[in-house]
Amino acid sequence: MALIVQKYGGTSVADPDRIRAVADNVAITKKRGNDVVVVVSAMGKATDNLIALANSVSTTQSGREMDMLLTTGERQTAALLTMALADRGVDAVSYTGSQVGIITDTAHRKAKIVEVKGDRVRVAIADGKVAVIAGFQGVSTDQEITTMGRGASDLTASALAQAMDADACEIYTDVTGVFSADPRIVPQARKLTKVNFDEMLEMAGAGSKVLAMRSVEFARNHDVPLHVRSAFTWEQGTIVSNEEPSVEDPIISGVVTDMTEAKVTVLGVPDRPGVSAALFEPLADANVNVDMIVQNTSTDGTTDISFTMPKADMAQSESIVQAIANEIGATEVTHDDGIAKISLVGAGMKSSPGIAAKMFRVLADENVNIQMISTSTIRVSIIIPSSDMERAAIALHTAFGLDSGADYSAPLPERK
C-alpha cells in the first residue's frame, strides 16, 4: 500500500464543479488501495478577494492579522472537499495546518517550517481515512497562526510528504507539467517528463510560475520528488527530483521568458566604495525585490549601474533611486519597462562549455540587442527589448534542439 500526498492549487479547486472533479480523483486514488493525504489551496481568487477586503477596511495590516484572515481560504476548501469526498463514500477528515502540527517560526506571512508533527494525519491514515489539509499555513512556536508565503501550499505538501515518508507527492495545477518554454510564446514547446531540482530552482528564479522557489528548495533539501501534473486533464506530468541528468539528456532543459520586470539605470555614478550599498540598501528596506544587477568597470571615474525589479515595484523604487542618485552625485536615472528576460536553464551546462556564446550568436543572427547578462552554473539570463522576446525565444528553442518531438527521457513508471 502506497502513501500518496496530493496537492491541489487554487485553479484546481476554483468552484464547486472543480471541487467535485478533485474529489473524484482523490476517491479513485484511494479506491486503488493507496493511503491519501490531500493538501488544498484557497479556491480560485479567494485569497485575492480577502486581500482586497483587508485593503478596503484598513491601511494598517499586521502580519499576524493578515495570517488570521488569509488562512480561512484554505480551511474552507479543505472542509468542502472533505464533504464532497463523503458523497463518494470516502471517509475523510479535514485539518488546519495548526491541527496537524505544522510548526513554524514566528515570521508572519513568510514563516519557515520548524517541524512537522503530523500526529493527527497518522491517526487518520491508520483509521483508513483520507486526511485533507489546509495548505499554506501553520502555527508558530508562539501559538499564533502563520502563513508561509504565496504558493506555500506546495511547501505544505512536500513537508508532509517528507514527514510521512510518502511514496509520491503529486502537485496538481492548471498546466500539464513543466515545459521547455511557455507554449503561449513558443508554440513548439513541449512538456518535460523530468527536471532536476536545481534546474527547477533556476527556472523559478528566472520567472517560471509552475512551482514556488521555496517549495522546490524544501523538496530538494529533503529529497522529496514532486510530480507536477494537471487537475484538468489528469495526464502524466513532470517529475522533479534530485536525479542528475544523464549524458543522453539534452544540455538545455528549457527557455524561460519573463516580461514582469522593469529596468532602472543610474548613469554617471562616482566610482568609489560604498556606492552600491548606498543604492541597494534603501531598496531592500523598502522590500523592492531587485533581480539582476549589472555594473561595468569604471573608465572615467564614473560608472553606470543597471538593475531589474518587478514592474509593480517601479513607482516605489523610482523616488528612492532618484533621491539616492542626487545624494551620491550620479548624473541621471533612466527607467525602461519595455524589457524582457530570457533564460536558458540546463543542468547539462555544467559539463558543456560554450552555451552562453552559442546563445549570443543565435541572438546576433536574429539581430536582437542584449542589454544585460547574468549567469549561474546552470543558467544564462539576458535582458532584451520586450518586442524581440517572442522571436528570440523561438530561435533559442530551435537552436538548442528543444523543438524535437522526441523525448530524451525514460518513460514514467506506471501510475499506482
Positions touching its own copies (CB under 8 A) are: 16, 19-20, 23, 50, 53-54, 56-62, 64-66, 68-69, 72-73, 75-76, 78-84, 86-87, 93-94, 96, 99, 143
Secondary structure class of 22 (helix, strand, coil): helix
Return the closest-CA partner of residue 174 out of 305, 54, 7, 47. Answer: 7
Shortest reach from residue 21's CB to its own copies, in Å? 11
Shortest reach from residue 414's CB to its own copies, in Å? 31
Residue 269 CB coordination number (10 Å) = 24
Pick 81 or 185: Cβ nearer its own copies: 81
Pick 35 or 74: Cβ nearer its own copies: 74
DSSP H or E run through 4: strand 3-8
Pick 57 or 406: Cβ nearer its own copies: 57
Residue 133 CB coordination number (10 Å) = 30
DSSP for 354-400, please give it.
Answer: THHHHHHHHHHHTTPPP-EEEEETTEEEEEEEGGGHHHHHHHHHHHT
Pick 22 or 372: Cβ nearer its own copies: 22
Pick 57 or 247: Cβ nearer its own copies: 57
- Cβ–Cβ under 8 Å, residues 348 and 252: yes
Shortest reach from residue 62's CB to its own copies, in Å? 6
Shortest reach from residue 152's CB to its own copies, in Å? 18
Pick 58 or 334: Cβ nearer its own copies: 58
Q: Which residues contact 300 (CB under 8 A, 6 or more apart)?
A: none
Pick 3 or 68: Cβ nearer its own copies: 68
Q: In what order do the strands lie in the sheet with 339-345?
A: 254-258, 339-345, 379-385, 372-376
Shortest reach from residue 96's CB to its own copies, in Å? 8
Shortest reach from residue 171's CB to its own copies, in Å? 22
Q: Which residues contact 221 (CB under 8 A, 6 or more apart)?
A: none
Shortest reach from residue 41's CB to its own copies, in Å? 15
User: How many DSSP H helices and E strands does the chain contain?
Assistant: 11, 20
* Rounded Cα distance, 230 and 179, in Å: 13
